[in-house]
Amino acid sequence: MELIEWKKYANSILSPTERVKDELRLIIAEYVRKFPSWEQNNDARRSWFTGAKLVLSTSQLGYIYIRDQLTDTAWWKAKTIEHNMINEQVREFEIYLRYGFSNMLFTITEETLRSVVRSIDNTACNGGTSNYEGIYIYLLKVTKKQQYLDLFNFHRLIRNTIHTNGVFRPKNNQDKSITFLDKQYNFVCGEKINFQSYELLLNLVSQYKIALVDIFEDDNIISLSHVERFKW
């Protein structure tokens, strides 16, 4: 894309991101009212929503940086980057933003689910330290929310490509297909995934929000007096 196109694209990101943040704000406000101790004690069930909101805010800052600085040729004049490399630098920075978004979202989700599992039963899943797939399979079984399995599988498969620079290389050397929001996504062995768009990432946050509200308000989870973070 040319710089003017990058500027328009970066600007177009901001409002959709704010709308998803609004979704999270509503849940955070509701939980303050319904479960005040969750806020007071930094309960992991609430912290996912505040953490996801922070990920979105940080991403917005990155796109504001693209819009207001990185697409301004005058801004680049004082820099040592060759003029013919500006578009490449903007492109790489935007990729960096999306990968950071995805990986931080994955990190806070994994941390939260491990904390919840350990609070349910501190002996389950090897004290909450088993492989992540086993963690969410256990939690979905306990809460009878297996309809969210594809959501967690989908993001796990995306995140695992971080080890191979975006190329899907599973240990079993088998292709994988996941349906997410009524669309099929194919993970092909030896091929780079090409669908981690910003829109997809926003959809992941929205779907996680739906799933985690449903899971956290299940009788088995809502009855936990406290879900402590960083204790697995």
pLDDT digits (tens, 9 = 90+) for 144-166: 999 999 999 999 999 999 888 88
For residues 132 and 114, give the distance between their C-alpha atoms in angstroms, rounded to a whole number. Answer: 8
98/61 Cα distance (integer angstroms): 12
> What residues are paired with 186 via a beta bridge?
177
Token readout for 175 is 């292709």
Beta bridge partners of 184: 179
The pLDDT of residue 231 is: 60
- 3-class state of residue 92 by DSSP: helix
pTM for the full model?
Answer: 0.93
Pairwise CA distance, residues 86 & 50, whole Å = 35
From the centroid of its chain, how far is CA 57? 13
Q: How far is CA 61 from the centre of its chain?
A: 16
Q: Which residues lie across from 176 on neighbouring strands?
A: 187
> Which residues of the chain have a pLDDT value below 50?
none
Question: Domain residue spans in the chain?
Answer: 3-222
What's the confidence (pLDDT) of residue 78? Answer: 81
Nearest CA to 55 among 22, 112, 102?
Answer: 102
Longest dimension (CA), the chain: 60
Radius of gyration of the chain from its Cα atoms, rounded to whole angstroms: 20
pLDDT in the model for residue 222: 96
Alpha helices in 85-182 (DSSP H): 86-120, 125-128, 132-143, 149-160
pLDDT at 48: 97
Return the pLDDT at 166: 87
Residue 180, helix vs strand vs coil: strand
- Which contiguous run of DSSP H or E holds residue 204? helix 198-216
Q: Alpha-carbon distance 207 to 181, whole Å? A: 9
Phi-psi category of residue 47: left, alpha or beta, with phi > 0 → left and psi -120 to 50 → alpha: alpha
